[in-house]
Amino acid sequence: MSDATALARAPAEPRKRDAEATRAAILDAAKGHFARLGYDCAVLRDIAQDAGVDVALVKRYFGGKEALFVEALKASFVADGMRAWDRATFAQEIAITLADSPHVDEERTHRFQFLLRAATSPTTAPLLNVLIQDRFLEPIRVWLGGADADARARVFAASYIGFLVERLVRGEALEGRERRVFIDRVSAIFAGLMTVSDGPP
């Protein structure tokens, strides 16, 4: 046990002084906590501890909880990724991802859980309108392209969010035939949204 305590005794090495690094550490920890817990349940002390930092530094570097949240939210949406998606395989790939457990794609999962939590908390929802428009809906709209891209982007985004929630509450991966059917149906939906027109002209 003495080894364990020795390992846990990180404070023996009292943190190099490096403003940028600590700021980044806080931001990074914050992203995870906010994504997992949502604004209201996330606790500054825990975030700080996770970053190996004193709580007071949150104030120094960000001003407060809300400001930290906004910063973390923006940092979580550097709005890349989507451009790189391959149109030929996207629908299938995303459906597979959504059929699996939330734990396999931690990175992307976190980013969108963050968005979801932010959107569904009454405290933070007001902060989101612009950001959602700019960094979520708009990239999708551009990526989809074609006629009525805005409406299709809405449906696309909504579906995505929905499947994310479903996977969240499901918690575990789907298996066997259910999994195959799920993937087929979901990828059919996304594929349908990528085609410019399957409704009346």
Partner DNA sequence: AACCTAAGTCAATGCGTGTTGACATAATCA
Partner DNA sequence: TGATTATGTCAACACGCATTGACTTAGGTT
Contacting residues toward DNA, per CB under 7 A:
11, 14-19, 21-22, 42-45, 53-60, 64-66
Which stretches within 102-175 are classed as H helix?
Answer: 106-120, 125-132, 138-144, 149-170
Tokens of 35: 């994504």
- For residues 7 to 46, the per-residue mask of contacts with a copy of itself, x marking binding by CB under 8 A and - elsewhere, is -----------------------------xxx-xx-----
Q: CA-to-CA distance for 171 and 181, rounded, in angstroms? A: 18
Least distance from DNA to the Cβ atom of residue 30, Å? 11
The alpha carbon torsion through 115, 117, 120, 125 (nearest 10 deg) reads: -60
Q: CA-to-CA distance for 144 and 140, rounded, in angstroms? A: 6
In the list DNA, a copy of itself, none, the entry touching 16 (Cβ below 5 to 8 angstroms by class) is DNA
Nearer to DNA, 69 or 77 (CB): 69
- Residue ranges in 89-108 that form contacts with a copy of itself under rule CB under 8 A: none
Q: CA-to-CA distance for 143 and 125, rounded, in angstroms? A: 25
Percent helix, percent strand, percent coil in the chain, to nearest 5: 75, 0, 25
Alpha carbon of residue 87 to chain centroid:
22
Least distance from DNA to the Cβ atom of residue 193, Å? 38
- Residue ranges in 134-173 that form contacts with a copy of itself under rule CB under 8 A: 148, 150-152, 154-155, 157-171
- Interface with a copy of itself (CB under 8 A): 36-38, 40-41, 116-117, 119-123, 125, 128-129, 132, 148, 150-152, 154-155, 157-171, 174, 177-179, 181-182, 184-186, 188-189, 192-193, 198-200
